Chains A and B, each alone.
Chain A
Amino acid sequence: MEKVSYYPGCSLEGTARDYSESIRAVCQELGIGLDELADWSCCGASSAHSIDHGASIDLPRRNLVIAGRAGRDLVVPCPLCYNRLKVAEKDAASGERRVRIWDLANYMGREEVLHVIKGKVTKPLAGIRAVCYYGCMSSRPPKITDADDCENPMSMDRILACLGAEVVPWSYKTDCCGASHAIPRQDLVFELVGRLYRRAVAAGANCIAVSCQMCQANLDMYQDKINQAMRTDYYLPVLYFTELMGLAMGHRDVRTWFSRHFVDPTALLTQAGLVP
């Protein structure tokens, strides 16, 4: 079993429990051992980099020091945490012990992992027509993220293709959802997310695959309200790529993960003949 250090981030202990549970489940299936960083702390997120530049480097650095002691590659499911850890990495003095930091989707989108995923698929996801929505922070800015495809990331596209889903091309993979504006300026998030729905539907998708828990929350939790405000009736389940992996592998907990969503994916899965 391959073992990596794992930095879940604060949201995965709360609003993104479905992401957390599905990650642990599929990693077990794939033989990836997740070793949670001992006593990890918050990366500081948008708030630190907005109003306290020093803390925006020192908060993630504390976690890099812990990861350095563990000595293994560090896998990070939350793109915002990933971004802040990468900022601290780029800022670090050359003498510090380094480990490789991975965005989870990129870690799983590599050929060698895709090969293992393919072997585990028991229920190909025919009938799922997904747009892959990556959000901002695993891609931008590339001088921090080291992304070589920041305008057109492909990791989730590759994973979903392996699962037998139809991946629908669209141009809005990395457009912003408004992130933490959801609390103080919900109107901004509604506008941005409304645009994403419109574009996903125009592309012919019947769901949105995500790798970011902030994007998932903004696209999933307010779909009713946004539909009301825009006078639309979009039905677009917002699914973590790890949940889709679990679905294709016939994992027994898929139903529990999906029960945590605000946009219930049951109708989509029934239509596709994929009810877990």
Chain B
Amino acid sequence: MTARDGHMENAMRIEPTWLATVESESGVKVSACYQCKKCTVGCPLTFAMDIYPDQVIRMVQMGQRERVLACNTVWVCSGCETCTTRCPNAVDVAGIMDYLKETAIRSGMEIPQPKTYVFHKAFLNEIRRRGRVFEAGLVGTYLRESGDLKAKLEDKTLGEELALGWAMFKKGRMRFFPKGIKGKTEIREILK
């Protein structure tokens, strides 16, 4: 590979119209950001992010769609809303993180932190099934779908998981049987 090829490989693909798309679809005025970085300074999860929240916003402004959708930051965000609360320009940073998760999913790309996505899907499936979340069912589905069940069987840590579940059951904090609601049809209509 020549130096020039390497350079091309690292070059950012810019999509100049993306900012306008993000703003109209999310309703968030990303262009209002003047990079004070207050979002990043207050963010409790920067230690686990590959790019910082202010950089995500800047990259959206610059149309760096591919790079933003490939970062783990939007999946590490816990939605604590500190950034949104403190932004002096009313940029809903946490809202943009959610918008970017949905955009990544819609694009069919590989999700940077797939287990978090599996968890959210399992959670919504619980709601779809019964109208309420049954925690034991949620954890069971998550373990199966995320591949954690297999991994924990292989490295023999499944016992820890079961011990925790058993302890919760003994303390009365885990039910074995779910409760459902009557209005399941309404819920399925919402979660089509």
Which residues of A does B touch, CB under 8 Å?
10-11, 13-18, 39-42, 44-55, 58-59, 62, 136-137, 139-142, 150, 174-176, 178-181, 183-185, 187-188, 191-192, 221, 259-262
User: Given contacts A15-B173, A259-B171, are A51 and B121 in contact (CB under 8 A)?
Assistant: yes
CB-contacts of B158-192 with A (<8 A): 164, 167-168, 171-175, 179, 181-183, 186-187, 190-191
Establish whether residues B183 and A183, one from each chain, have CB atoms under 8 Å apart when the complex forms: no
Find chain A residues with CB under 8 A from B146 CB: 184
- 0/1 interface trace, chain B 109-144, chain A, CB 8 Å (1 if under): 000010111111101101100011111101100100
Establish whether residues A51 and B117, one from each chain, have CB atoms under 8 Å apart when the complex forms: yes
User: Given contacts A14-B174, A59-B190, A183-B142, are A52 and B133 in contact (CB under 8 A)?
Assistant: no
Report Cα–Cα, A55/B181, bound state, in Å. 17
Find chain B residues with CB under 8 A from A174 CB: 82
Name A185's contact: one of B79, B113, B131, B191 (CB within 8 Å): B113
Main secondary structure of the interface of B (DSSP, over half): helix
Q: What is the total number of residues of chain B having a CB less than 8 Å from a CB of chain A?
A: 57
Nearest chain B CB to A262 CB, angstrom units: 7
Find chain A residues with CB under 8 A from B23 CB: none
In this assembly, does B14 line the interface, its C-beta being within 8 Å of a C-beta of chain A? no
10 intermolecular pairs with C-beta atoms under 8 Å apart? A10-B132, A13-B179, A16-B173, A44-B127, A51-B101, A59-B187, A141-B92, A179-B80, A180-B78, A188-B45
Establish whether residues A175 and B44, one from each chain, have CB atoms under 8 Å apart when the complex forms: yes
Report Cα–Cα, A10/B123, bound state, in Å. 12
Report Cα–Cα, A179/B48, bound state, in Å. 15
Find chain A residues with CB under 8 A from B186 CB: 41, 62
Nearest chain A CB to B90 CB, angstrom units: 8
Establish whether residues B135 and A41, one from each chain, have CB atoms under 8 Å apart when the complex forms: no
